[in-house]
Amino acid sequence: MTEGGIFLLAGEASGDRLGGALMRRLREIAPERPLYGVGGEAMEAEGLRSLFPMQDLAVMGFAEVLPSLPRILRRLKQATAEIDRLKPAALVTIDAQGFSKRLQVRTREVSPQTARVHYVAPTVWAWKPGRAQKLAGLIDHLMALFPFEPPYFTVHGLSCDFVGHPAAERVRAADPQAAEALARELGLSPQAPVLVALPGSRRGEISRLAEPFGAALGLLKARHPDLQILLPMAEGSAALAAEAAARWPAQAHLLDPRGKPFAEAEARKFAAFRLAAREEAGRGGAALAASGSVSLELAACGTPMVVGYKAHPLSAAIARRLLKIDTATLPNLLSGEKAIPEYFQEDCAPEPLAAALEPLLRSGPERARQERAAEAALKALGGGPGEEPPSLRAAKSLLAAIKRKESAPLVS
């Protein structure tokens, strides 16, 4: 039996990046604690030997989960058995709400002395607020990314810390010279605008977004023949993204992460974002992105953007009945200003996407408005100059939760 270890589980690319940053800080301040669990390339780059491929859990949406249910249940049984064997000091589930909830329940049964921690608060402020009370009865501690989230949970007696989102932290850690190096490698012109296409990291996202995104880029390329398109890809879905891009009417430079260390692949992605952020002689670049945490990374790079998303029709219909917010783009939520245009479901179509991107390709009020909103959003997240980085705050919050659990009487 391994004592004092920490079992981490991420179910998708954004959670994997959070887990990788958390692992790096834990190795710095608590090197005596072994780290194991399930993750992707970011966590594996920090030394994790994933129990099974993270992609087995990367399913999002009400309708999308059903066909994958047998596989997910097998992985749940496998993860539970490993926790039963290891008896870790803590289980840290990162996002992946459905799987995480079930694993937390089973961990309480097989290893009651394990501190059950969840990283990334459920969006109870957006839909289904009753989840806050249910979560309070399930886990010992919650680590929230956004400053307005803890009161939703502490009112129900759940320990919750605001630790911040490490998007800006990751961007600042990347090599600032990488942008020019990437431009030279791809033969990009500094006088021509750069547009970064980001149709998601999950296979379902790419299958639904690649066609409208590609058609929108074709419309822009026809109007701006010198437009330079970059497509950063995720390790687990690179083949699908490349296949989709081959059918686009406008050719894109593919930033393929396969065979590259995670840090190098991420640095190239941020380099692409910075190239799209620059302005030259009154012209600028932009990004067309799937809704998600990548919008915060783009904001941290100063890249103006348009956001689009298409979910399974059944999932979208259910979500529309439950949502209590009028924007799903994180910089908009954090800044309190709908500066970033967003197009969902049937509105996520080539013509409106291209029309929204058009004014971002030149200097003007649309770019300036997004710049102000990005600054406000990043300030709200914390981790600025003179503040502890979010990943370090998360590591300290986790270790404090373990200490509380170890000192508390065991209640089965």
- Tens digit of each residue's pLDDT (9 = 90 or more) over 225-260: 999 999 999 988 999 999 999 999 999 999 999 999
Closest CA to 60 of 257, 215, 291, 353: 291
Q: What is the pLDDT of residue 96?
A: 81
Task: State whether the Cα torsion 22-24-27-33 is positive or negative.
Answer: positive
Percent of the chain clearing pLDDT 90 (strictly above)? 69
Q: What's residue 2's pLDDT?
A: 43
**pTM of the predicted structure, to 2 decimals:** 0.82
Does residue 56 belong to any structural domain of this protein? yes
CATH number, residue 26: 3.40.50.2000
CA distance 191 to 281: 8
Residue 106 lies in a domain: yes
Task: Indicate if the pLDDT at residue 183 is higher than 60.
Answer: yes
Residue in 255, 283, 305 with CA at minimum distance from that of residue 192: 283
Residue 167: its pLDDT value, please? 84
Instruction: Identify whether residues 157 and 69 lie together within a single domain.
Output: yes
User: CA 291, CA 247: separation in Å to the nearest integer?
Assistant: 22
What is the average per-residue pLDDT within 323-334? Answer: 77
Structural domain includes residue 360: yes
Tell whether 155 is covered by a domain: yes
132/408: higher pLDDT:
132
Residue 144's alpha-carbon distances to 138, 147, 160, 334, 373, in angstroms, are: 16, 7, 7, 14, 21
**Position 154, amino acid:** T
Summarised one tens digit per residue, pLDDT across range 115-149 is 999 999 988 876 677 889 999 999 999 999 988 89
- Assess if residue 29 is contained within a domain: yes
- Domain count within the chain: 2
Mean pLDDT of 363-371: 94
Instruction: Please give the pLDDT value at position 367.
Output: 95
134 and 113 within one domain: yes
Confidence band for 317, pLDDT divided at 50, 70 and 90? low
pLDDT of residue 110: 97
100 plus 181 within the same structural domain: no
Same-domain status, 81 and 133: yes
What is the structure's pLDDT at 84? 97
Residue 56: per-residue pLDDT: 86
What tens digit of pLDDT does each residue of 31-80 get?
999 999 999 999 999 999 999 999 888 665 444 556 677 888 999 999 99
* 17 and 117 part of one domain: yes
> Cβ contacts of residue 233 below 8 Å, gap of 6+?
241, 242, 254, 255, 256, 257
- How many angstroms separate the CA atoms of 206 and 80, rounded? 31
pLDDT averaged over every residue in the chain: 90
Same domain, 91 and 105: yes
Tokens for 230, please give them. Answer: 């970059």
Q: What's the pLDDT score for residue 46?
A: 96
Q: Is residue 231 part of a domain?
A: yes
Q: Which residues contact 381 (CB under 8 A, 6 or more apart)?
A: 145, 146, 147, 164, 165, 167, 168, 296, 334, 390
> Do 102 and 148 lie in a common domain?
yes
Residues 83 and 215: their CA atoms lie apart, in Å, by 47
Q: Which domain holds residue 393?
A: 6-166+389-407
Do 358 and 336 belong to one domain? Answer: yes
Shared domain check, 214 and 137: no
The whole-angstrom separation of Cα 145 and Cα 124 is 13
Which residues, listed in sequence order, are joined to residue 279 by a DSSP beta bridge? 284
The whole-number pLDDT of residue 412 equals: 47
Which residues does 308 contact at the CB level (< 8 Å), separation at least 6?
Answer: 209, 212, 213, 288, 289, 290, 291, 342, 343, 344, 348, 353
Confidence at 293, pLDDT banded by 50, 70, 90: confident
Strands (E), 159-211: 159-162, 194-198
Q: What is the pLDDT of residues 195-204, one digit of tens each?
A: 999 999 888 8
Residue 214 — pLDDT band, cuts 50, 70, 90? very high
Check whether residue 365 and residue 241 sit in a common domain.
yes
Q: Is residue 412 part of a domain?
A: no
Q: Does residue 199 sit in the same domain as residue 86? A: no
Assess whether 134 and 239 both reside in one domain: no
pLDDT at position 59, please?
60
Residue 1 lies in a domain: no
Spatial CA neighbour of 73 closest among 50, 43, 42, 52:
52
pLDDT (0 to 100) of residue 410 = 65
**What letter represents residue 409's amino acid?**
P
